[in-house]
Structures are given as structure tokens and as C-alpha cells.
Structure 1
Amino acid sequence: MFEIESRPTTLKRPDWVRCGQCTELVYGKRFARTLHVCPGCGDHARLTARHRLEQLLDPGSESVLEAARTLHDPLRFADSRPYPERLDEARAATGMDEAVLCVRGTVLGRPVVVAAMDFRFLGGSLGCAVGALITEAARESLHERVPLLLVTASGGARMQEGALSLMQMAKTAQALAELDEAGILVLSLITDPTYGGVAASFATLADVILIEPGARMGFAGPRVIEQTIGESLPAGFQTAEFLLEHGMVDAIVPRASLRTTIGHFLR
């Protein structure tokens, strides 16, 4: 994670960014040139869905996919605040309708359908609308017979939608099964963090699973697991390097190499 340190300015980007790993200060323009990767320690900062698409897709190739509307508040859920208030706040803060952005586009001239998740939107949680959008992206991929790229970032199921949220795991898994049966390539790019129902469904059902350096993926967090089993976990548990060593992912790909690597698989 990176902290922003800036003076009052008319610039659109911060003057300085502090790396949360090594605490090095990085000039904002340099940080943008390195694709939001710390030049000192190599820590990969989280990206918005919009930034992710801008880095991966060919300029001018994007067209947005839209899914059928889902219920705004299917359970009329309220905890300390009503669910609709939380949704409205997330939409105002992110400029997104939901926690995933689905588009058609090209990478190095090769067509692809992309579903990019955004952790800023209620922790990238998997709700009915996210499930509908992922399914629509898979259907578009099947209809056009072009590869599907899933870029994941999520804390898990959306608690405000209860069991309906859990049902999205089966829904998206079925959509990917149809692509598998049709022989259409599905790529998954795991970014930090990817947990819960997303990790247990479409994030790990792809033909090829790529992951950014240092990204974490798992069903439950390490603290919950340690409390449940009453034992300490191995060093680096659930990190990209640990997952690669144990055969859970196919390759660790630095951000600067993602376009080239993904383009290679799309050939």
C-alpha cells in the first residue's frame, strides 16, 4: 500500500508517494512511469479497474459491456447503515456502478474480453451485480469466440446480499465451464488481494493463472486460519511466491511484463 504526500496543487497526480513496504518516497511522475510499482523494493501498489484497463488494453480499443440490471437491495439489508447508502457512497467515491468493469478490447492487436475488479468498491465484494457482469463477460467471450481475461481483486462475498452472494460462485463457475467446453481460452490475473468466494470460484477456474509479485490469494485470511487450526502458518503463506511454489498459479508476472505476457497467450 502507498501513502500520498502532496502539497495543495493543481496537478492531477500527487507530488510524492510513500511506499508502504520500504517507506521510500517516490516522485509522483516517476511512480506513474513505473506503473505504480515502487522502484526501490518492487512493491506493486493496488490499481483501480480503470488504471488496469489503461495499462493492459491497446489505446482506443475499449468498448464497455453492460449486464442486465439486478435488484438494488435484494434483502433490504441494514447493519449500522442501510445497504443502499453504502452502495451510493461507493458509486460516488469510485465513479463505478459496481465492483467490476467489463469491456471488449485488444491487447497487442488481439481481441479479448476483460472483467477487471476494483477493490475500492466495497472491497471488491462478490454480489449479484458482480456475478451478472462476470457472467455477461463470459457470454460475450463465448458468443464472439475470443479469450476472456479476469483481473481479480476482492475480499470475498458481499455480506449484505447473504446467500444470494454465495450463489454467484456457482453462476460464474457455470459460465466458465461453458467456455471450457467450447475450447475458449480463459486467463486469470490475480492481484492483491483476492480472497473468499472470488478465489474459490472464477479466479482459480481459468486455463492460465497469472499473479503479480507479492499478491495474496486464499479463501480465508491467515489470522482466521491460525485461530481455527491453532497452529502457526508458514512464512509467506498465501503470497504469490508461496502459491507458485505449491502449484496454485502458473506464473508470477511483474506489471511491466503483463501486456507482453497476456498478448503471448492470446495468439
Structure 2
Amino acid sequence: MDVSTPNTARIYDYMLGGKDNFAADREAAEQILKAFPESRDGVRHNRQFLGAAVRYMAEEAGIRQFVDIGAGLPTQNNVHEVAHSVAPKARTVYVDNDPVVCVHGRAILASSPGVAMMEGDLRKPQDIVSNAAASGLINWSEPVGVLMVAILHFLADPYEEVARLREAMAPGSHLVVTHMTMSKERATDAEHVRKVYARASSPLFPRPVEDITRFFGDFEEVDDTQFIDASLRRRFASLGWAGVARKTQRG
């Protein structure tokens, strides 16, 4: 384990008030907070959106299986916990490309039924599809909730990879995306944050909203006012964008 290089999952953990982080992660997080003092709240708002989206998918859309890509370390209000509060037999597969995160995650989740953590990289979508199916928890012929929460902005050009995952999803499936935005007003601050992440385990690629919504392809965007309070979206807007889209019968 390299504890001298900041790790994105551990930075996120620190922002959430967790203890699974090291000095390098805390230092990087504090540098980010200097540029974006609202980052800690932004991380928490991001987590709130994840929980609300999972609850919506489980309660309203009847989804009983979830794949959380770029999951990071298990923390508060995890996907499986929210899903189980609605449907105790819901299944969840967490995916992360960091082997240390996966080992730690498996230990944390060892006593959770219907849950698995596997090593996988969004840049290899077919491996994610096949390995999630091999876990025995995910059946891609049935509706699935796929979450890409605060992960796509760490990849330079993941549009084709996301498209392949959309193709694997059955009609009725939902895709959840949260993503750091890029605005002219905060360009200098964003550049400072990019430099911090350049020294960490993953570089950062914030995008304008119109480029973020492209990840949904021909999926139909869900009106998230059904499950997210407008005030939360306003608070989240200074740092990022979030949305949910559904694969229709024709999608």
C-alpha cells in the first residue's frame, strides 16, 4: 500500500468524516478545500443524491439489483444498505479498480448478504459485465441500477465505455451519474483542484453539463424532483451535476 500518494477513495472518505485515510490524503483534501471550501458539503450532497436515487429505483422502479462502479470504500448509507431498507433481498455488486480498496471493502462487507465487491475498471466494461454476472448476483437480462457516482470525471474520454455498459442493460434499467462540473467563473479554482488530483491516484477532468448528459445516450432522463429536494440540487450545483436516466423499451 502506497500511503504517500493521495488516493481518490481515501480523499472522499476523509471528506465524509471517515477514518480510512492517511496523512497524504488529508493534506490533498485540505488543499482542495482551500480552492473549494464547499467541497466537503458537496461530497455529502453527492452521497445524499446517491441514497435518494437508490431509494427511488428500489421503491418506484422496482429494481432489485445494483452495480456501483467506482464505489470506493464502503461508508455511510451505502447502496446495499439503502436498497435493503426497501427490499431486503436486493443484490449489490461494488466495483473499484484499486485492489487495496477492494480488499478493504470485502472485509467491511463480509457479513452483508447479497453483496459483493469486485476489482474492475470502467475502461474495461465487458469485464465488469461478465464478472458481475459471474458473481451470481447480477442478471443483465433484468432491470439493473448502474451507478457511476463521482467517477466519470476521473477519466479522460469514457463515452464509448459507458455506451457499452448501456448496451448491456435491460429495458427498465436506470443509470445514475454524478459529475464535477466546469464553469468559467470557477476556472482558476478548478485548475488548482486538477493539480491536486494530478499528484493523486487519478487525474481530474471536470466537464460542462452538456457533455455530462451525453453519458445517458438515448436513455430517458428521470424527473428527479420526484425524489430530490430542489434546495439540495441548488446546493450541489456549485460543484457538480447529478441525474438519473431510464432505458426505455426502444433504448
Which of the five TM-score ranges fits, normalised by the shorter chain? 0.3 to 0.5
* Normalised TM-score (structure 2): 0.35
Larger radius of gyration: 1
Q: Going by fraction, where is helix more abundant, 1 or 2?
A: 2
Whose strand proportion is higher, 1 or 2?
1
Q: Which has the higher contact order (CA 8 A, sep 6+)?
A: 2
Compute the TM-score of the two structures, normalised by the length of structure 1.
0.34
